[in-house]
């Protein structure tokens, strides 16, 4: 057998804006303590594993057939889960799902972005947002966040009026800062978006929503009064299903139907649907871990502040901390001691995911050694 040569020098018609770019991704390194990509540190229980395996085995018996392209059963299960988690009852037709919240966001930009249109957010925020815009040939504009990483309502109103975006992306809790948006701020953005000529969709990205502190509202509570609002969630974080790649969105049926137009046929496999439904059946058990992670997070924030660092209040499963004159050196020092965190966000800051108590202790010990605090 001969192999086809990889001929160098071929001219490929790559889009100019993609020339020289590297694929998105955090470092994947084999170290003892991985605290860089906001994963849930707790693996599924043996009962969850067994139930997922049984569901996948059942799905495998029908893999010669295409899956339910509108995954009605999964949407009903997600609607039930959101009702229990947030107290907001939705019709299953108001729920959409895809391969991670990344694909959800791409669907939104495919449906409502595009050439001649603008997507807007407020920096610092999730670093994938401009890539969704780029990939859909949507112009990208960022407003500013305040020093405490909040969004000034009047600045938001003015920025939306100036740029007339077709999509506004608001992460709450925000990544990488961990800060959540007050409902009043979201209402101001929704009101400003309602006055954009031609319409504007506002997406509140609640990827870390289950980790919010008591008293922090979910934007799901605003859906009934705002048909141009969408709230996205994921099963990667609270459910500990990062490897399953399941994200979902709640919105008006009209908005969801627009996403159904741009999705690829049968985009959510039968296996993915089976895994998600089996995990949702264990929601109470999996949510019990969320409470433990919240406690671990709050304890870590208090410890960092006691050591003289600035640590942001967090409603997520990570903490942004600093500032450092040379954050790369601190990052490397932690890595040399077997702890991987993330260099992201404003200059001088680092982000650490909340791990198990043992992982948090390893991080604390390493940080003391590196910084001398």
Quick one: which of 144, 154, 102 has its CA closest to 124? Answer: 144
Tokens of 230: 């969408």
For 15-104, where are the E strands, in sequence order? 33-34, 95-98
Whole-number pLDDT of residue 346: 94
Given a contact cutoff of 8 angstroms between Cβ atoms, the answer to whether 220 and 214 are in contact is: no
* 134-183 pLDDT per residue, tens: 999 999 999 999 999 999 999 999 999 999 999 999 999 999 999 999 99
Whole-number pLDDT of residue 1: 58
Contacts 24+ apart (CB under 8 A), 217-221: 217/182, 217/183, 218/86, 218/88, 219/172, 219/181, 219/183, 219/186, 220/82, 220/86, 220/88, 220/90, 220/250, 221/86, 221/87, 221/88, 221/183
Task: Give the CA-trace dihedral at 255, 110, 210, 338, to 10 degrees.
Answer: 180
Pairwise CA distance, residues 169 & 201, whole Å: 9
pLDDT at 4 over 70: no
Whole-number pLDDT of residue 332: 98
**201 CB-near residues (< 8 Å, 6+ apart):** 108, 112, 166, 167, 168, 193, 228, 229, 230, 255
* 292-340 pLDDT per residue, tens: 999 999 999 999 999 999 999 999 999 999 999 999 999 999 999 999 9
pLDDT at 245 over 70: yes
Reported confidence tier of residue 209, pLDDT bands at 50, 70, 90 = very high
Quick one: which of 10, 77, 366, 33 has its CA closest to 246? Answer: 77
Whole-number pLDDT of residue 164: 98
Whole-number pLDDT of residue 6: 63
Reported confidence tier of residue 187, pLDDT bands at 50, 70, 90 = very high
pLDDT at 45 over 80: yes
Quick one: which of 223, 230, 233 has its CA closest to 258? Answer: 230
Whole-number pLDDT of residue 2: 60
Whole-number pLDDT of residue 351: 98
**233 CB-near residues (< 8 Å, 6+ apart):** 82, 101, 206, 207, 209, 247, 248, 249, 250
Pairwise CA distance, residues 352 & 319, whole Å: 5
Given a contact cutoff of 8 angstroms between Cβ atoms, the answer to whether 202 and 232 are in contact is: no
Q: Provide mean pLDDT across the span 88-94.
A: 98
Whole-number pLDDT of residue 7: 66
DSSP reduced 3-state for 14: coil
* 218-234 pLDDT per residue, tens: 999 999 999 999 999 99
C-alpha distance from residue 278 to each of 17, 66, 94, 103, 169 (Å): 41, 20, 21, 21, 30
C-alpha distance from residue 126 to each of 69, 102, 143, 164, 305 (Å): 29, 11, 13, 21, 24
Q: Where are the alpha helices (DSSP H) in 217-354?
A: 253-262, 270-280, 283-306, 327-336
* 14-38 pLDDT per residue, tens: 999 899 988 887 777 889 999 999 9
What value does the mean pLDDT of the chain take?
96
Q: Out of 3-7, 26-30, 144-148, 355-359, pick the least confident.
A: 3-7
In order, the DSSP letters of 137-185 are T-EEEEEE--TTS---HHHHHHHHHHH--SEEEEESS-TTT-PPPPHHH
pTM, to two decimals? 0.94
pLDDT at 3 over 70: no
Which residue's entry shows tokens 């705002």?
226
């Amino acid at each position: 057998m001969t192999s086809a040569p990889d001929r160098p020098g071929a001219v490929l018609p790559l889009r100019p804006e993609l020339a020289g770019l590297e694929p998105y991704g955090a470092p994947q390194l084999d170290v003892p303590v991985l605290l860089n990509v906001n994963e849930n540190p707790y693996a599924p229980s043996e009962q969850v594993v067994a139930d997922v395996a049984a569901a996948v085995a059942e799905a495998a018996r029908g893999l010669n057939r295409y899956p339910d392209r509108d995954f009605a059963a999964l949407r009903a299960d997600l609607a039930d889960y959101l009702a229990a988690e947030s107290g907001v009852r939705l019709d299953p037709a108001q729920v959409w799902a895809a391969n991670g919240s990344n694909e959800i966001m791409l669907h939104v930009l495919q449906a409502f972005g595009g050439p001649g249109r603008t997507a807007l957010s407020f920096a610092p925020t999730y670093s994938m947002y401009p890539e969704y815009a780029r990939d859909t040939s949507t112009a990208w504009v960022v407003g500013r966040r305040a020093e405490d990483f909040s969004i000034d309502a009047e600045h938001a109103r003015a920025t939306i009026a100036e740029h007339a975006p077709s999509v506004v992306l608001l992460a709450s809790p925000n990544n990488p800062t961990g800060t959540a948006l007050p409902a009043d701020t979201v209402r101001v953005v929704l009101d400003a978006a309602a006055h954009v000529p031609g319409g504007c969709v506002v997406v509140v990205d609640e990827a870390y929503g289950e980790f919010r502190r008591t008293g922090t509202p979910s934007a799901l509570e605003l859906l009934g009064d705002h048909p141009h609002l969408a709230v996205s969630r994921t099963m990667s974080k609270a459910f500990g299903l990062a490897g399953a790649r399941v994200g979902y969105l709640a919105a008006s049926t009209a908005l969801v139907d627009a996403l159904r137009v741009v999705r690829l046929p049968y985009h959510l496999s039968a296996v993915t649907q089976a895994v998600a439904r089996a995990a949702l059946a264990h929601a109470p058990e999996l949510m019990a871990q969320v409470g433990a992670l919240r406690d671990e997070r709050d304890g870590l924030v208090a410890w960092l502040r006691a050591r003289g660092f600035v640590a942001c209040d967090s409603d997520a499963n990570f903490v942004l901390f600093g500032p450092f004159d040379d954050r790369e050196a601190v990052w490397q020092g932690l890595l040399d001691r077997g702890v991987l965190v993330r260099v992201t966000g404003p200059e001088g800051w680092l982000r650490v995911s909340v791990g198990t108590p043992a992982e948090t202790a390893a991080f604390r010990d390493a940080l003391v050694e590196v910084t001398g605090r």
